[in-house]
């Protein structure tokens, strides 16, 4: 059950790392991203496809570039991560058990 969550977090981390590279180095291509991150080309390509589907990047002839939506997403990201983090912290069973003792 928790394994799936860990895999999703790892994938999200990769997507965000790819997005950060696009923001910092646009336009940037798959080969350069793969070389700099160590991720295989197919994983970088998948992350780029996910980011494009979310309208956070778009392809150009020189490589991936940001969109009008990118900055809004980045501005909201920290708050969303904090909310999820708080929700996960509330799920801890060990703290609940200690509080009841």
| pLDDT score recorded for residue 69 | 96
For the chain, give the mean pLDDT: 92
Q: How far apart are CA 55 and CA 3, in angstroms?
A: 28
In the chain, the percentage of residues whose pLDDT exceeds 70 is 93
27 upstream amide cis, omega within 30 of 0: yes
Give the total residue count for the chain: 101
Taking the C-alpha atoms of residue 64 and residue 84, their distance in angstroms, rounded to an integer, is: 28
pLDDT tops 60 at residue 97: no
Task: Indicate whether this model's pTM tops 0.75.
Answer: yes
11-15 average pLDDT score: 96
Does 96 have pLDDT greater than 60?
Answer: no
16-55 pLDDT, tens digit per residue, is: 999 999 999 999 999 999 999 999 999 999 999 999 999 9
């Amino acid at each position: 059950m928790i394994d799936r969550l860990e895999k999703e977090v790892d994938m999200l981390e990769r997507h965000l790392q790819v997005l950060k590279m696009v923001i910092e180095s646009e336009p940037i291509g798959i080969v350069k991203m793969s070389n700099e991150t160590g991720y295989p080309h197919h994983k970088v390509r998948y992350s780029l496809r996910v980011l494009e589907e979310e309208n956070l990047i778009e392809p150009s002839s020189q490589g991936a570039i940001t969109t009008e939506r990118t900055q809004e997403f980045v501005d909201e990201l920290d708050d969303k991560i904090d909310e999820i983090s708080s929700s996960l912290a509330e799920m801890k069973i060990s703290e609940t058990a200690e509080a009841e003792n």
